[in-house]
Structure 1
Amino acid sequence: MTIISPSLLACDFLNIEPELMAFSGVKDMWFHLDIMDGHFVPNLTFGHPIIELIAKKSPHKCDAHFMVTNPEFHGETLKNAGLHNFTFHLEAVMDSLSLIKELKKNYPSVGISIKPNTPTHKLSDEILKAVDLVLVMSVEPGFGGQSFMPSAFDKIKELKKRRESLKAHFQIQVDGGVTDKNAKELIEAGADNLVAGSYVFKTTKDNYKNKIESLRSF
């Protein structure tokens, strides 16, 4: 079953606990947290106290995407916060493989992300065999509500082929402009984890679950 990961960047921050509880009982979903530092990307979002509170209150696994210049710091300071997946950017570190190995000591799942202009061949075979998830950005990281970039399809297909040839087991996650208009094609290309923000949250709370299911019901 495809995992759907609603991005909390698009939720109502002033009522975040009711927002979380609106997804109780939904199967095969994570909550996606876009964590930005104002340096790696121009925006600034969740700080440590909010991340810890969300992880504590969440009825689902928390998937944290760190768009930061120093993921090593966050990996250490949030190791007891209860996050399920920790994704950092290939472009942010010099030695991704060493960081993956370090993060795996404290997180059940470790992912790596690439920006739209970063080709998939920058991800070495060793990295792909080590990670649990590869996040393909289908928008420029930093802001929600952007339009989907079709170049992501080729990246997903390439990663699926490499996953098969390497006999690796990483999930292929895509984030940015995901809606019911492209979900089917993304899944057919090889994506098995879809991040959706505006599409899910820009509706009434009682419709959130329907929005989730629309992304995997064809």
Structure 2
Amino acid sequence: MSAPLICPSILASDFARLGEEVAALESAGADWVHVDVMDGHFVPNLTIGPDVVKALRPHTRLPFDVHLMVAPVDPWLEAYRNAGADVLSVHPESGPHLHRTLGRIRELGARAGVVLNPGTSVGILDEVIDLVDLVLIMSVNPGFGGQKFIPASLDKIARVRQRLDAAGSKATLQVDGGVTADNAADCVAAGADALVAGTAVFRGGPSTYADNIAALKGH
């Protein structure tokens, strides 16, 4: 079992020092930078616009993994891609035509992700699996950081892993929500390749980031 990719969510970072924070993540051994975009409509919070992503882009060489919790989502794809997003992940509920949205993300040259909320069926993947580069399992209901991991998510990770393997898909299987060093190994054992973590990475300040990331990797 290989170590997972660690994708710290800057939602939990010091917003007054965002440029320094993403640079510190790269130095600490993070694999991707996870950017939670919330519109105050699709989810009950308001966060990071494309101009902020663009401003952060020169501060790190790490891939920007942008999770779009906005509706309608299609009008924002190009703006975030132009700002520097490498991965764009969308919710099936955030637009009328998931297949078209994923195709558009790929046309823009980004990796296309599908996000499954706790109440979203894994069966939706069967219709779009050939367009999916990443599947993100939400192990909390989206909208806020600091929530508790939903234990039933482990079974969902395993079911998605089975679907991806059966289809011969090379898509990354990512988990987001309440991920800590205590449950990271369980997520990986269930089939996850990548872990999004906020508080578990950023607690303690920059001097602790390397140790926190290593703990999530199982080192």
Q: TM-score, normalised by structure 1?
A: 0.95
Matches within 5 A, 1:54-203: 54-123=56-125, 125-203=126-204
> What whole-Å deviation, never above 9, does each CA across 1:182-218 have from its counterpart, x for those lacking one?
0001001000010000111111211101111111125
Give the C-alpha shift of residue 28 in structure 1.
6.0
Alpha-carbon distance in 1 for matches of 2:174, 2:208? 24
Q: What CA distance in whole angstroms lies between the structure 1 residues aligned with 2:165 and 2:180?
A: 27
Percent identity of paired positions between Structure 1 and Structure 2: 37
CA–CA separation in structure 1 for the residues paired with 2:28 and 2:205 = 16
- What is the TM-score normalised by the length of structure 2? 0.94
**Counterpart contact for 2:20–2:59, Cα < 8 Å:** no
SS at match of 2:210: helix
Helix, strand or coil at the partner of 1:24: helix
Amino acid at match of 2:19: E
Instruction: Quote how far apart the aligned CAs of 1:148 are.
Output: 0.3
The structure with the largest helix share of the pair is: 2
CA contact (8 A) 1:48 1:78 kept: yes
Letter of the 1:50 counterpart: V
Amino acid at match of 1:104: R
Contact 2:181 2:215 in 1 (8 A): yes
Once the two structures are superposed, residues 123-177 of structure 1 have per-residue CA deviations (whole angstroms, 9 ceiling, x without a partner) of: 2x23122110000000110000000001111111011111111111111100000
Give the secondary structure class of the aligned counterpart of 2:26.
Answer: coil
State the partner residue of 2:49: 47
Q: Distance in 2 between the 1:16 and 1:102 partners?
A: 29
For residue 113 of structure 2, give the secondary structure of its aligned residue in structure 1: strand
Tell me what 2:217 maps to. Answer: 216
Aligned length, in residue pairs: 217
Measure, in 1, the Cα distance between the counterparts of 2:29 and 2:171.
20
Gaps of 5+ in 2: none
How far does residue 23 in structure 1 lie from its aligned partner after superposition?
A: 2.2
